[in-house]
Structure 1
Amino acid sequence: MADLDGTSRRDEDEVCPICKSSRYLNPDMRFLINPECYHRMCEACIDRLFTSGPNSCPVVGCKKTLRKNRFRTQTFEDISVEREVDIRKRVMGILNRREDEFDSKLDWDNFLEQRETMIMNLVTGTDVAKTEADLRKYEASNLDSIRANKMRETQESSSFLEQQSFEQEQARLRRMAARDEYEREHRDLLASREETLSKLASGRPSDAASIAREGQKILLKKSSARRSEEERLRQKQASLRGEKSKKQSLLATAVADADADAEPSLIKGLKKVSIPEPEKPYDPFGGLEPGRRDYYVLQDHYPSSWLEQARNNATFAAGGFDVKEYYSRTLLEAFAGLGCFIDDEVTKRENAKKASIATKGAAQQAATVRASDDVF
């Protein structure tokens, strides 16, 4: 009886609720579902009812408007699992925050719990209107950050696949390179040995040591050339990895910029995004103003009898002497010490010296007490 019940239930599932056609009579029938209501119907009824445009669901009691382009093949056998998977995918596509965007692990766990609660509300039909309203409001106010996080996720998945294929290709190339290197070294060794033997056979006995040294130098030169080529390849791979990390940091910056403009009220515990100040132009003087004078005003002329000759004689000007430059330097040296307070500097230095002496004395006393305890 159980088998008969199971068979009748399967037969009922394989019957279109609209045209009552059975797959038993038409094995080529294909059933599709729409994520609006998840009612199964055959492809012929879908073409007949929804080709001309949107239409209401033909199932009795369902008033939802369906469109032909939304119909798709059912993935899971249980339609409730199919519906939960679609809801979970939609909610997680909107609430796609990442752990590094939260202040603490507790805030991240609270966000995961909040997201799971909203998914269960939609699956079980609890507070559906409020949950949908919260999702729409959050999506409208955080559209830029949602897009940026989707871009980061896509980039990470593609980078992972690229990294896997790259590592596999590199392993294959390393194996081939190791095999080629071994064969090349073996050939070079044999060629060098034959060349050395031919030179020894044609040369004089006194030239044996020099011929051996020359062959060794050739082998060392070839091995150093191979090592430099390997080092160049490693540097190139490191630069490629640096470019990938730079792209990921740019995506993270895009997420931060999007969060700076949005004010999410649904999610709590997000990090406060602080936009860095623009870098100031380079100041070669370190904040000092060359023409600044705090304690005096430079005049164009100062009466001085012994400067009259330098002021009126063209010979001094031809040699590069400038009276105004002399005025500026003299007044700067005269007022240079007004901003320095020697007593305060000496007091600070003496206090620091006393503190260091006291620290050393305490350390010596502690060492003495420890030594006496060890003796007893």
Structure 2
Amino acid sequence: MPPSRDAIVHRGDEDEVCPVCKSSRYLNPDMRFLINPECYHKMCESCVDRIFSSGPANCPVAGCHKTLRKNRFRKQTFEDINVEREVDIRRRVMTVLNRREEEFDSKLDWDNFLEQREEMIFNLVNGVDVGKTEADLQQYASENMRSIRTNQDLEAKEVSSFQERQNQEQELARIRRQAAREEKENERKEVMASREDLLSRLASGRPADAAAIAREGQKVLLKKSSARRSEEERIRLKQAALRGSDSKKPGQAAATAAEESGSGLIKGLKKIKSPEPEKPYDPFGGMVPNQRDYYTLRDHYPSPYLDPIRQDTRVLAGGYDLQEYYSRTLLEAFAGLGCFINEEVSKREASSLNAMKPVGTQGAAPAAGSSSQGSK
């Protein structure tokens, strides 16, 4: 009789002995060992129930004085306890230092952050500057709680979205398989019906019409198969277009602007840019009506030609306004005061001369000198 799955899994654990009650798996095959992330000492489930059911207690392993709680005990996942401990430390550190690449100014800053996070994981795993590393983690977590929660929510949404896409793809694949089976079955039925119709027509017709009936039946089959292929191609193109439109959709929006870390643990984060307050609506786009830079418009300008018009009702009856004439005339008179023609002409000539100069490389002058010496 082949060994069971549990027997294969625990074959290397037959000699495991509980450090508290000294029971071994060899004598008790149903015994389960549990570990606690505080110290990762392994002990049997019965000892855990007996020691920690009444409340927190010190670890019963000799030399370990850490306080353990029953709800923290769990089954060991990896065979090597060091791997189990490293996985837990990595998960805890990456939960706190969960910055995203789009939160950094450059790719170099993102790589430096990844290196810093791996260095902190290495220190905690190997016991190097554990106190300082833990203090930095706690300080960073307390100062950046908002960004940590925001990134956790984004990660959860990405995971759920990915799972939803996978479920949709599996459902579409199932529908396509079912449609293919139905199409194949319908095709088989159509072929059988065409053959039966052809045989019945041949049986009821004259012998001279056998060739014509056969050719007609073959044409019907070709038309049906061509229509079926055209429909399949149309459906395939439509699905490809839908997949293309889904791939072009914008991805999940990044987290809000990164919070500034007071401890300075992470460098290169983007600065928070507060939006500018909305300005009141300006229908003139910044231009102030009736405001000039070089002159001030008056109500009256003495003129022997315009003074009679001011009192002539025949001219003013049609809506003629002398103020409009004054404004237009002064604007045209002072329009060129802000333009400096000589400076513009000199800049234009300089730019044209630079454009006409040939572009040379660093090796052009030595090459020209060597060529001239060689010609001599």
* C-alpha displacement of 1:57: 2.5
* C-alpha displacement of 1:36: 0.8
Q: Which residue of 2 aligns with 1:297?
A: 296
Matched residue SS, 2:34 = strand
Do structure 1's residue 29 and structure 2's residue 27 form an aligned pair? no
Q: What TM-score results when the alignment is normalised by the length of structure 1?
A: 0.64
Q: Which residue of 1 aligns with 2:6?
A: none
Q: Which residue of 2 aligns with 1:146?
A: 148
Do structure 1's residue 329 and structure 2's residue 328 form an aligned pair? yes
Contact between 1:91 and 1:119, CA under 8 Å: does it hold in 2? yes
C-alpha distance in 2 between matches for 1:277 and 1:31: 57
Q: Which residue of 1 aligns with 2:342?
A: 343
Contact between 1:75 and 1:82, CA under 8 Å: does it hold in 2? yes
C-alpha distance in 2 between matches for 1:166 and 1:117: 40
C-alpha distance in 2 between matches for 1:335 and 1:272: 49
Matched residue SS, 2:55 = coil
C-alpha distance in 1 between matches for 2:299 and 2:180: 81
C-alpha distance in 2 between matches for 1:263 and 1:115: 18
* C-alpha displacement of 1:311: 3.9
C-alpha distance in 2 between matches for 1:153 and 1:86: 19
| Larger deviation, residues 300-309 vs 234-243 | 234-243
Superposed CA offset, 1:40-70 (max 9, x none)? 2333443344344333333333222222221
- Equivalences for residues 257-296 of structure 1 within 5 A: 257-259=257-259, 261-263=260-262, 265-268=264-267, 270-273=268-271, 275=273, 278=276, 288-296=287-295
Fraction of identical pairs, as percent: 58
Superposed CA offset, 1:88-138 (max 9, x none)? 221222233445555565555544443333223222222211121122122
Instruction: Write the letter of the residue equivalent to 1:13.
Output: E
- Equivalences for residues 115-154 of structure 1 within 5 A: 115-154=117-156
Superposed CA offset, 1:190-224 (max 9, x none)? xxxxxxxxxxxxxxxxxxxxxxxxxxxxx99xx89
User: Of the candidates 81, 88, 95, which is equivalent to residue 97 of structure 2?
Assistant: 95
Instruction: Write the letter of the residue equivalent to 2:325.
Output: Y
C-alpha distance in 2 between matches for 1:231 and 1:338: 65
Relative distance call for 1:347 and 1:110 in structure 2 (3 A) is: closer
Matched residue SS, 1:13 = coil
Aligned positions, number: 311
Instruction: Write the letter of the residue equivalent to 1:136.
Output: Q
Contact between 2:141 and 2:148, CA under 8 Å: does it hold in 1? yes
Relative distance call for 1:236 and 1:108 in structure 2 (3 A) is: closer
| Larger deviation, residues 114-123 vs 153-162 | 153-162
Superposed CA offset, 1:131-188 (max 9, x none)? 211221222233333333334443444444444444455556667778999989xx9x
Contact between 1:50 and 1:67, CA under 8 Å: does it hold in 2? yes
Relative distance call for 1:45 and 1:175 in structure 2 (3 A) is: closer
Superposed CA offset, 1:206-256 (max 9, x none)? xxxxxxxxxxxxx99xx89x96x988876665554455x24x2x2x242xx
- Equivalences for residues 141-180 of structure 1 within 5 A: 141-170=143-172
Instruction: Write the letter of the residue equivalent to 1:275.
Output: K
RMSD: 4.4
Q: Which residue of 1 aligns with 2:220?
A: none
Gaps of 5+ in 1: 1-6, 188-218, 361-368, 370-376
Contact between 1:142 and 1:264, CA under 8 Å: does it hold in 2? no
Choose between structure 1 and 2: higher helix proportion: 1
Contact between 2:52 and 2:69, CA under 8 Å: does it hold in 1? yes
Q: Which residue of 1 aligns with 2:205?
A: none
C-alpha distance in 1 between matches for 2:311 and 2:56: 100
C-alpha distance in 1 between matches for 2:357 and 2:64: 87
Q: What TM-score results when the alignment is normalised by the length of structure 2?
A: 0.64
Relative distance call for 1:267 and 1:357 in structure 2 (3 A) is: closer
Q: Which residue of 1 aligns with 2:194?
A: none
Instruction: Write the letter of the residue equivalent to 1:296.
Output: Y
| Larger deviation, residues 313-322 vs 127-136 | 313-322
User: Of the candidates 63, 68, 71, which is equivalent to residue 70 of structure 2?
Assistant: 68
Q: Which residue of 2 aligns with 1:80?
A: 82
Matched residue SS, 1:273 = coil
Matched residue SS, 2:41 = coil
Contact between 2:57 and 2:69, CA under 8 Å: does it hold in 1? yes
C-alpha distance in 1 between matches for 2:87 and 2:150: 23
| Larger deviation, residues 271-280 vs 121-130 | 271-280
Contact between 1:144 and 1:258, CA under 8 Å: does it hold in 2? no
Matched residue SS, 1:32 = strand
Instruction: Write the letter of the residue equivalent to 1:135.
Output: L
Q: Which residue of 1 aligns with 2:45?
A: 43
Matched residue SS, 1:337 = coil
C-alpha distance in 2 between matches for 1:56 and 1:89: 25
C-alpha distance in 2 between matches for 1:62 and 1:133: 23
Q: Which residue of 2 aligns with 1:191?
A: none
Instruction: Write the letter of the residue equivalent to 1:331.
Output: L
